[in-house]
Amino acid sequence: MNQSKSIRVLLVEDEAGDAYLVKMALKQSHGINFEVTWVESLTLAKQALMDSVFEVILLDLSLPDSEGLDTVEIARQMAGDVPIVVLTGRGDTEFALTALKAGANDYMIKGDFGFDGLARVIRHALLRVEMEEHNKLLVAALEAAANGIVITDRNAIIKWANPAFSSLTGYDLGEVIGQKPNELINSGVQNALFYEDMWRNLQAGKHWRGEIINKRKNGSLYHEDLSISPVKNNHGEIVNFIGIKENISERKALEEILYKMANTDPLTGLFNRRVFLERLDQESDRISRLGGSAVLLMLDLDFFKRVNDTYGHATGDEVLKSFANVVRKNSRNIDISARFGGEEFVILLPNTGRDEALIMAERLRKQVSEIVIEDPKGMVKITVSIGAALLSMRDMDSEIVLNRADSAMYTAKESGRNQICWSED
């Protein structure tokens, strides 16, 4: 997404006060200019979409000419591929999932935009659309290839299969005739209930489609997109089933790669800054709703520039990776660790108090001081300065706790480095 150009927003909201708050929230966004067109009904939105091109739609669900999830469905038909962000006064997860299923790309609770929250949701919606378009291109390429086709009788016994089926599964045509697909290539990954549900739908005359993991003749597993359609005779009786099998293993692997590229730092494997800020916002929201506390650790490697200048960037990279390994080794499953930039790292410790956090921080500090990296110019040793701050219900904005932890970290550096400083604010 090109952040240098303006993002054209169609705001569909019948309450002038709410529309004003949305426009003000977007106006205060840093780094992106939003051009907002405000309309008060779906009818006017339809005309606006005919007259102009928009990159995102902000949609209130209660309008003069539509109400509830019907609003999302109608807007989805009108908007085409334009992402829709629902603005709602409801915060329950079930409703949010229903809105997403109805065609929304994301949602936000009115009056809870937070710092740059609405702009961030819009950016993420646009990024997801870009990713979806990229994935569609990959899927189209896969669909252009020859798919495996298999025809069975009403009892799911194979009567015929094409060469692509043999290529996909490794079985010759003579080996599959008279066999059942779920016995021949069953990987065991899906349980018996999975196949019972599939068979129940097919016997009811319904089309079935889903992703499944199957096994080749040589024992290797592969992902496939399987589509099965019943074939009926003139009396309406099912006489055959036609299955179309598309190998999507490459797509699955690429999706995993793309996920890692989008969410992790390529050098250390820790989360990147964007993901951490999202998780921090989520934890802040959770604490504001349910109570409790969390601790944020801000960590900065001491004299890291000196390491790069003296030993080179390759050794500097080894230092960063070694440090990341120490962080992973000492983190719980619920902890969120990220490379924030350069030699700066952050760790969010949910459900953690001051004493517990300081114990972990001291353990990290000690283990980092024991790191030794071999280099032709000598042994490289490092230390880390750590700032810690409590995230609690009084923090209305997660940016506040970031600033406190950052300030504490710099206090640790100014006090001699290789130590921990707790923010008392």
Q: Which positions are annotated as active-site residues?
A: 343
- Alpha helices by DSSP H, listed for 80-204, are 93-101, 117-144, 163-169, 173-176, 181-184, 192-203
**In one letter, which amino acid is 321?**
K
> What is the three-class DSSP state of 351?
coil
Q: How far apart are CA 299 and CA 263, in angstroms?
A: 20
Strands of 158-161's sheet in order across: 158-161, 148-153, 238-247, 221-232, 208-215
Q: Is the dihedral of CA 93, 98, 103, 108 positive or negative?
A: negative
Beta-strand pair 66-67/84-88: unpaired
Find, among 245, 348, 366, 371, the residue nearest to 298 by Cα.
348
Integer angstrom CA distances of residue 96 from 22, 68, 99, 102? 19, 12, 5, 10
Residue 312 tokens, joined = 């080179």
- Give the CA diameter of the chain: 87
Q: How many CB atoms lie within 10 A of CB 368?
A: 23
The string of DSSP codes covering 3-54 is TTSPEEEEEE-S-HHHHHHHHHHHHT-SS--EEEEEESSHHHHHHHHHHS--
Find, among 333, 335, 423, 320, the residue nearest to 373 by Cα.
320
Task: Specify the length of the chain in residues.
Answer: 425
Find, among 309, 304, 332, 337, the residue nearest to 319 by Cα.
304
